[in-house]
Structure 1
Amino acid sequence: MRLFKNRLLNFIQKGLSARQFRRVASLEQLRGMNRGREVSKSLGQRLLTLSKLEISTVLHRLGSCAEGLSHAEADSKRLQTGPNEVEHEKPMSWSEHLWLCYRNPFNVLLTLLAVISFITEDATAAAIISAMVVISTFLRFVQEKRSNKAADRLKEMVSNTATVLRRDPSKVAAAEAEKYFGEQLQPKPAEQIELPIKQLVPGDIVVLSAGDMIPADLRLFAAKDLFISQAALTGESMPVEKFAEHKDVSISNPLERDNLCFMGTNVVSGAATAVVIGTGNQTYFGSLAERVCASDRTLTQFQLGVNKISWLLIRFMFVMAPLVLFINGFTKGDWPEAALFALSIAVGLTPEMLPMIVTAALAKGAVILSRKKVVVKRLDAIQNFGAMDILCTDKTGTLTQDKIVLERHTDVFGGASDEVLAMAYLNSYYQTGLKNLLDVAVLEHANLNTELGVAQNYRKVDEIPFDFNRRRMSVVVSEQEDHHELICKGALEEVLAVCSHVRHGTQIEPLSAELLQDIRRITAALNQDGLRVVAVASKEMPIDREAYGVSDESDLVLVGYIAFLDPPKESTAPALKALKANGITVKVLTGDNDLVTLKVCKEVGLQVDDVLLGPQIEAMSDQLLAEKAEITTVFAKLTPLHKERIVRLLRSNGHVVGFMGDGINDAPALRAADIGISVDSAVDIAKEAADIILLEKSLMVLEEGVIEGRKTFANMLKYIKMTASSNFGNVFSVLIASAFIPFLPMLPLHLLIQNLLYDISQTTIPFDNVDKESLSKPQKWNPDELGRFMIFFGPISSIFDITTFAVMWYVFKANTESAQSLFQSGWFIEGLLSQTLVVHLLRTRKLPFIQSRAAWPLLAMTALIISIGIFLPMGPWAHYFKLQALPLTYFPWLVGILLCYITLTQIMKGIYTRRYGWQ
């Protein structure tokens, strides 16, 4: 774990971008495709052919064997086939990426203006505008280039793995030598290793269990109660059972062949061994994905919000720029100059740095989150992280320590029983499906195998794997070949449902209503002590059978219980308190017993308002459940579909819902949530479904991530609000000046320089501090508020722009065309300084510089821009920019105007906050 985190921090500090992770042919997009579409005929025919051949023939064709490939053989094959990745988005060349960074409405307008300036022989203006385009494009190109590489490396570090058989090359060589000399070939040894999915090659032997993603197209040659969810490819919600041998040879659809599994699906329950028959684009999944990549991605709510704001400003520009053109054209008579000026206004209204600011803000947020042990898979999820107001989480490992200890093993009536312990051990020892923490606790019980000699006299006959509907699993073992015994272990209610008798000492008694009442009383007492109770039952089976199924789990004899303790984490109580203080309501969604869950909630200080159980939820309509979900804290005895349904209904109530889970049963809810949160130790399907991966399964880590997400979002909003209100004020001032002043109040060149300097001053906003008050509650994306904010604060600067006009006109007599350079220089400085000050005024609801101070990068950058703004007209290069030095008596007027501007803005901030709040 330490190595993982160190490697992660080493590269992530280089910076990430707003580009969301490019998942391999998004499952959501595949669901939206027409179900009738088929893969290419050649691929379909190849899959059908391989499904019909004997497994030995398939292995021979692929150059493999039942013991798998050696590392050298796999490496050689990988050189031929390439990595096991679906290339649904071909990597762009640097030139294509550069063009993409340039191609936005803002840069197109700037380029048009530069061309017009060059044609009209205004070389200085053309150079300034070109510099703006180059700087904006280059910043975005460099940032995204770095972040794309970092994102790809990050994706690899949280990627899923597959369990693969590999042969020892030295022993393979020995076996080949034996074969050469004609001696009997000994079985080739193989070891199970975990490999990143992208390293798989055709011919690899893969071992599957519950929770695994199917890593490639596979042909099964051993399967036991294997159920696969193929919803991503077929749309069918129910899992389908797969077998080593296909039964109906007439079926021509590869998806319906019993012995084929496909990349992009996942194992719901059971176990299997299979050979890889297709990787990357040569899979059924890859064939469909090639069609998907031809269509546009579905935009997230965050992207839609950014686009909505951008187009709001562009529409505003299309209204204001023509007004400026006609007013100046009619009043000044110089239409070419008026057109140039109107284009400059258009540029001033466009937030051309918005893509770069958003990218930088998300990048900085991802870097900080990584240092807090939070890896962001889909970077746009940062906004949802900050907006989350309900967190749904499991109990085990989140509220508790995730270190389950086997605390008691009792008979049906509560007395200690080694027989129950021995049966539980055999069940956990021989099961090959999804080994959970309960099995680990049983197997790690002190010297159990040595002390009891449990496994020495038994061999495994068969098993009936666990699934989340039955909530139990069974193994069948044979003792000294004289009888078979089915041993079932699972949730109390589900085991009782298939029991007809109980063991009382050496006697077997029918399960009567009185006994059932005693059982519930005894197990309830264990639950109230915070113990999780698992029932153990058994049944004698005929010795002549070797295959068993779910139907054999009937008429069992209840022999007792094993009880586990999972103590609460010390960090849980303060984390819950911190989440509540930050406006996040925590709800517990668990498949566990409600009494155990309530005990844990009480110990960690989580106030429980109401409890709902799975069977009650089944009987509720969506409307009723949506109402109950608002006031319910604990949801217990849930199935995966219950969790998903609760999350969807909470979202439909207007909440931004996060779901934290790490099991296969959590995958549907992770996909349904606004933000899915998992851990790096989760099962494959949970990590695939999640947007955020925690390197530590702790609510405290999550709380820190939420705060950082809110900081990132708050800083993005700052730029958008500042730019919108400042640009609106400038245009409003220009309209007034154009109507009454006989010359242009500012040359196009001046507007462009001012705009460039102002934009540069805001590049450090992503690194700014955020007031604690802005982090105390969830922040939701609200593009509609921008128009109100812009109209409310924009005209304030216009009041003082007009004051500056009056001072320059009447005090300094800059009221003729010959003196227009002095007038323009005066407004240039005042306009730039007021725009720069607005960064500090609108970044906080408090008094700037005193109650709330910006981060030092922002302070330094704005100070630098103010210095440059004053130097340009006052320095030796003023004539290059068609400016002139101002008299020193101008500056006391400037200071007075700016102080009045600060005072009025503070007053208006108070009025706005009381009326609308301050996000």
Structure 2
Amino acid sequence: MWKNITRQLFAQLSRRLPRRLVQRDPMPEGKAFASGPVPDSLARHCLNVAAMDEHEIWRAFNSHPEGLNAMEVEDQREQYGTNTLPAQKPLPWWVHLWLCYRNPFNLLLTALGIISYSSEDLFAAGVIALMVGISTLLNFIQEARSTRAADALKAMVSNTATVLRVVNDRGESRWCEIPLDQLVPGDVVKLSAGDMIPADLRVFQARDLFVAQASLTGESLPVEKVVRSREPQQSNPLECDTLCFMGTNVVSGTAQAVVFATGEKTWFGQLAGRVSEQVSEPNAFQKGISRVSMLLIRFMLVMTPVVLLINGYTKGDWWEAALFALSVAVGLTPEMLPMIVTSTLARGAVKLSKQKVIVKHLDAIQNFGAMDILCTDKTGTLTQDKIVLENHTDVSGKPSERVLHCAWLNSHYQTGLKNLLDTAVLEGVGQDAARSLAERWQKVDEIPFDFERRRMSVVVAEQEHIHRLICKGALQEILRVSTQVRYNDDIVPLDDTMLRRITRVTDTLNRQGLRVVAVASKTLPAREGDYQRIDESDLILEGYIAFLDPPKESTAPALNALKASGITVKILTGDSELVAAKVCHDVGLDPGEVVIGSDIERLGDDELAQLARHTTLFARLTPLHKERIVTLLKREGHVVGFMGDGINDAPALRAADIGISVEGAVDIAREAADIILLEKSLMVLEAGVIEGRRTFANMLKYIKMTASSNFGNVFSVLVASAFLPFLPMLPLHLLIQNLLYDVSQVAIPFDNVDDEQIQKPQRWNPRDLGRFMLFFGPISSIFDILTFCLMWFVFHATTPEHQTLFQSGWFVVGLLSQTLIVHMIRTRRIPFIQSRAAWPLLAMTLVVMVAGIALPFSPLAGYLQLQALPLSYFPWLVAILAGYMTLTQLVKGFYSRRYGWQ
């Protein structure tokens, strides 16, 4: 948890590599490639592969155009290993054990134990060793369990690759979906928009393939990949236009490619090996834990010398004072914090999985609970994600079979990322009509969809000498490349009058909640060669197809639940503002004044940040618009979640504090996300948020208890040390007390949480922790001082000869008050009456309290330098504890009214 950077590397590497290792300026022409963090041999290998033709590729990797068979796959895997990064390989148990031991608190306790051993205080050294051992082993066990749980959960949503494999002895091949780690060199891979590049690939078939390489090169724009290099004398492998590298993703187009490197032999794998050796940049959760830890350590480092000086000066025995100060330092060290954090997060992840929420990174749970703004798309979140083709009309709004057939040909023959609109179109044509269309029209070529053009085209032919280009896409984008309109079977110019008529018809459809897609065509003479985007010009607008995606019944209740939980929902969609506004009204979400993408482009960051603060609905957005809005909301101090499932959502998913995707999302969206929902529903999301807050609340309990208890104990020790002629408690007693207290905390991750503690977003706030210490720490000191007075004036333990009675009395009060503070701090309500802890915490509390009372009466009492307390002591004990709980409850009421109770 504290240093285990490797577990998070694979998901976060693509975010960090551009900034830390490989971002560089464009290379001056003619300058030789410098491999930087990867070996020169790898660079030369990549350049050699880029220069190969298709036949050389098959020979080099013992592969074939029909794919590998099972025996060849096994041979390749035996030679090259699995397709896993160095950072993904499990750590040996001894390395994991060392990482669990190596946290600041254990290192500090070890130093204190060595000092105790050097001073021949063997019992103290043994107790410290026991405390370190318990902390380390519990942390090790919990981390191992959480790792297994996280791996099992991630396996449920793992990405796959589409691979051509020989499936039988007859040599028949079939495209198969296999886990990424099963890829081997020589595999033939199919790529389409939204796919992650699963290994290092050499392209041998491509249609308008554009790949986003920002994770490796820092380039903001996608680059095109081709079969034959347009610049064969490349010196930089990352600029080779025939190679695709692991860790990048397909933006648009289709391709087939051969795997030439897997796992740690890939470019990405070599970089991962370097990064795994470095300390990663901590996230917000880790920074919060670190700040709290250092606050407690600084407090201990300041107070321990003060205790030493006061006791040494007043008692005159500096050696005894040193041992006592050493024990105080041990008591002030929150060595169970790593275990509490790990076990709480692991338990939270398992419970979230039962809510259909898969946590890819345990640290994301805290951000989940802290989220106060959720940005989400409309389709599938507010709506049912079951799109139905509602009508198909010409430009005047009359039903048109011609438009439907054009749309069917476009959806049927495109090979890119088929979406729900394509499925609805294909289902909207009868089987007989579909069979007839497929027989009459043969595919010639296609121009794949991308989010810049927001349209895609296929080229088909009915006759040998004539080709027909059919384009389908967003209305505004189709109008941009159209010059004519088919109106009443005539071809007329697209003038202002016709444009106004088109706007009236489509706006009417949009206001009904229908999503409008335009269809256009163009007849061309037959030709050889590929068709390009430039061919999408001078089109004839045929008409529209309109789709209905009705709102979910669960959306309105889910939005109300999120609002009640303090989460503001903002809709970021690429759809029409009229359609989005209609859906928002249907689910009870007031869209207010809608902001569209063209408005955003005219605004500066400060203006857009102010606008985003109050705007609910953003429409007609590009992927970069979404990312910019999320980034600016974060800059304003919000914890922002983004929920998306498409390739256009990947930038915003990475930019958000917590990226949320769904099981059926495209590869790049799932990889960029921190949380995966097994059901695309805001109701599932809301349940997950509540569980995230419950997990965080349990972690906060331990931190609050430790901080306030430590502060109070030190204050009591300082007062007693200044006025008593003997030590208020022996070093041995402090160590035993701390050990028993630690045992009582083990059950905190299993505790219940009050409903009001999970109603609002929760964040780390070290300033609140300091204030909490000042309010609640002195309360225990008040009753410690009353205990001192009790033992001094009532039981007359006033001399060194009677110090054992004094120390036994404070030992019991100190241990019981420290244990009860768990129940006082865990809730703002009245403990045991209005709010009851979970049974494991109650049981541990009872066991420790019984042990604390029994020790002075046990056979061990003499060895521990304790003595049996008189029966008259126990009514006073009950009174002191009752007074302590009453005063704490009163201060809780005042504190929560003034500062709130997180």
TM-score by length of 2: 0.96
Matched to 2:150, the amino acid is A
| Partner Cα separation in structure 2 for residue 402 and residue 592 of structure 1 | 14
Cα distance change of structure 1 residues 191 and 45 upon mapping to structure 2, 3 Å threshold: same
The 8 Å contact of residues 386 and 710 in structure 1, kept in 2 or not, is answered as yes
The residue aligned with 1:144 is: 143
**1:24 touches 1:85 (CA, 8 Å); kept in 2?**
no
Offset, 1:89: 6.5
Q: Which residue of 2 aligns with 1:662?
A: 645
The partner residue of 1:872 within 836, 855, 859 is 855
Per-residue Cα deviation, 1:368-402 (whole angstroms, up to 9, x for no partner): 10000000011111111011000000000000011
Alpha-carbon spacing, 1:402–1:299, altered in 2? closer, same or farther (3 Å): same
For residue 564 of structure 1, report the CA deviation from its aligned partner.
0.6
Query: What secondary structure is seen at the aligned counterpart in 2 of 1:226?
Result: strand
Matches of 2:617 and 2:125, distance apart in 1? 65
Partner of 1:170: 169
In structure 2, the residue matched to 1:28 is 15
Is the 2:408–2:429 Cα contact (8 Å) retained in structure 1?
no
Gaps of 5+ in 1: 1-16, 173-188
Look up the match of 2:284: 301
The 3-state SS of whatever aligns with 1:466 is: strand
Q: Alignment partner for residue 285 of structure 1, among 268, 273, 282?
A: 268
Query: Which of 728, 731, 734 is the aligned partner of 1:745?
Result: 728
**What letter corresponds to residue 144 of structure 1 in structure 2?**
E
Post-superposition CA distance 1:427-477 (Å, at most 9, x none): 000001111110011112252454672111111101011011111000000
Please give the per-residue CA displacement for 1:239-283, whole angstroms capped at 9, x wherever unaligned.
111110012222211111121111111111001111111111211
How many equivalent pairs are there?
887
Q: Distance in 2 between matches of 1:354 and 1:18?
A: 18
- Counterpart amino acid of 2:858? G
Structure 2 residue matching 1:478: 3-state secondary structure: strand
Counterpart CA distance in 1 for 2:572 and 2:413 is 30
Taking the TM superposition and a 5 Å limit, the aligned residue runs for 1:172-321 are: 172=171, 189-321=172-304
Which amino acid letter does the alignment assign opposite residue 111 of structure 1?
T
Deviations 1:82-140 (A, max 9, x none): 11112136643322222222223322343344444445554443333322122111111
Residue number in structure 1 paired with 2:131: 132
Equivalence for 1:183: none
- Decide whether the 8 Å contact of 1:461 with 1:546 is kept in 2: no
Deviations 1:619-668 (A, max 9, x none): 11111111111111110000000000000011111111000000000000
AA partner of residue 53 (structure 1): M
Match of 1:378 among 361, 368, 373: 361
Asked whether the equivalents of residues 15 and 654 of structure 2 are also in contact (C-alpha less than 8 Å), the reply is no
Give matches, 1:468-547, under 5 Å: 468-547=451-530
The match for 1:445 is 428
Moved more, 148-157 or 635-644: 148-157
Where 1:438 maps in the other structure, the secondary structure is: helix
SS of corresponding position for 1:206: strand
Task: State the match for 2:91 in structure 1.
Answer: 92
Question: Percentage identity across aligned positions?
Answer: 65
Paired residue secondary structure (1:26): helix
Deviations, residues 521-563 of structure 1 (Å, cap 9, x unaligned): 1111111111111000000011124421111111110111111
Q: Which runs of 5+ in 2 are unaligned?
A: 25-33
What is the rounded CA distance, in whole Å, between the counterparts of 1:415 and 1:108 in structure 2?
Answer: 78
| Other-structure match for 1:48 | 47
Are 1:768 and 2:755 matched, yes or no?
Answer: no
Using the TM superposition, give the Cα deviation of residue 20 of structure 1 relative to its aligned residue in structure 2, in angstroms: 5.2
Cα deviation for residue 759 of structure 1 reads 1.5
CA contact (8 A) 1:18 1:362 kept: no
Cα offset, 1:791, TM superposition:
1.4
TM-superposed deviation, 1:21: 3.4
Q: Which amino acid aligns with 2:232?
A: V
Q: CA deviation at 1:57?
A: 1.3
RMSD over aligned CA atoms reads 1.6
SS at match of 1:564: strand
1:611 aligns with 2:594: yes
- Structure 1 CA distance for aligned equivalents of residues 584 and 122 of structure 2: 72
**Structure 1 residues 105 and 240, CA gap change in structure 2 (3 angstroms):** closer
- Report how far residue 763 of structure 1 moved: 1.4
Instruction: From 820, 826, 837, give the equivalent of 2:809.
Output: 826
Q: Match of 1:307, SS?
A: helix
**Structure 1 residues 838-877: aligned runs within 5 Å:** 838-877=821-860
Aligned-partner SS, 1:170: coil
Q: Which residue of 2 aligns with 1:4?
A: none
Aligned equivalent of 2:28: none
The structural deviation recorded for 1:25 is 7.2
Distance 1:150 1:576, change over 3 A: same
What code does the residue aligned with 1:81 have? Y
In 2, Cα distance between the equivalents of 1:520 and 1:450?
31
Contact 2:747 2:840 in 1 (8 A): yes
Equivalent residue, structure 2, for 1:902: 885
Could you tell me how far 1:23 is from its partner in structure 2?
Answer: 1.3
- Name the CA shift for 1:62/1:19 in 2 (closer, same or farther; >3 Å): closer
CA distance in 1, matches of 2:200, 2:260: 6
Q: Residue 29 of structure 2 aligns with which residue?
A: none
Q: Secondary structure at the match of 1:258?
A: coil
Q: Superposition pairs for residues 339-488 of structure 1, below 5 Å?
A: 339-445=322-428, 447-450=430-433, 453-488=436-471
Question: What is the aligned partner in structure 2 of residue 161 from structure 1?
Answer: 160
Q: Is the 8 A contact 2:516 2:544 kept in 1?
A: yes
How many angstroms apart in 1 are the aligned matches of 2:668 and 2:353? 22
1:885 aligns with 2:868: yes
| 8 Å CA contact 1:24, 1:86 repeated in 2 | no
Q: What's the CA shift string for 1:17-48, capped at 9, x where partnerless? A: 99953416711231121545513221111111
User: Could you tell me whether the CA contact under 8 Å between 1:29 and 1:292 is conserved in 2?
Assistant: no
Q: What's the counterpart of residue 717 of structure 1?
A: 700
Q: 1:685 corresponds to which residue? A: 668
Distance 1:671 1:803 in 2: 56
Distance in structure 2 (CA, Å) of the matches to 1:715 and 1:388? 17
User: How much has 1:734 moved relative to structure 2?
Assistant: 0.5
Tell me, yes or no, if the aligned pair for 2:192 and 2:254 is still in contact at 8 Å: yes
Contact 1:535 1:562 in 2 (8 A): yes
Q: What's the counterpart of residue 77 of structure 1?
A: 76
Greater shift in the superposed pair: 823-832 or 545-554 = 545-554
2-structure distance, mates of 1:80, 1:158: 28
Q: Is the 8 A contact 1:66 1:205 kept in 2?
A: yes
SS in 2 for 1:881: coil
With over 3 angstroms needed to count, the CA separation of the structure-2 counterparts of 1:49 and 1:121, relative to structure 1, is closer
* Counterpart position of 2:27: none
Q: 1:88 to 1:120 in 2, by over 3 A?
A: closer
Contact 1:610/1:631 (CA < 8 Å) preserved in 2? Answer: no
Q: Tell me if structure 2 keeps the 8 A contact 1:206–1:276.
A: yes
In 2, the alpha carbon distance for the partners of 1:670 and 1:462 equals 33
Task: Indicate how the Cα distance of structure 1 residues 814 and 591 shifts in structure 2: closer, same or farther if over 3 A, else same.
Answer: same
Partner AA of 2:221 in structure 1: M
Instruction: Specify the SS of the correspondent of 2:833.
Output: coil
Q: 1:175 maps to what in 2?
A: none
Whole-angstrom CA distance in 2 between matches of 1:300 and 1:911: 34
Tell me which amino acid in the other structure corresponds to 2:376.
Answer: T
Deviation at 1:877, TM superposition (A): 2.5
Mapped pair 1:590 → 2:573: yes
User: Following the alignment from structure 2 to structure 1, what is the Cα–Cα distance between the partners of residues 102 and 206?
Assistant: 53
Shift of 1:61: 1.5
Flag the 1:790–1:24 CA change in 2: closer, same or farther, 3 A: closer
CA contact (8 A) 1:499 1:555 kept: yes
Secondary structure at 2:210 match in 1:
strand
Against the structure 1 CA distance between its residues 111 and 652, is the aligned structure 2 distance closer, same or farther, given a 3 Å change threshold? closer
In structure 2, C-alpha distance between the alignment counterparts of 1:228 and 1:103, rounded to whole Å: 42
Range with bigger deviation, 629-638 or 443-452: 443-452
CA distance in 2, matches of 1:443, 1:713: 48
Of 590-599 and 95-104, more deviation after overlay is shown by 95-104
TM-score by length of 1: 0.95
- How much has 1:758 moved relative to structure 2? 1.1
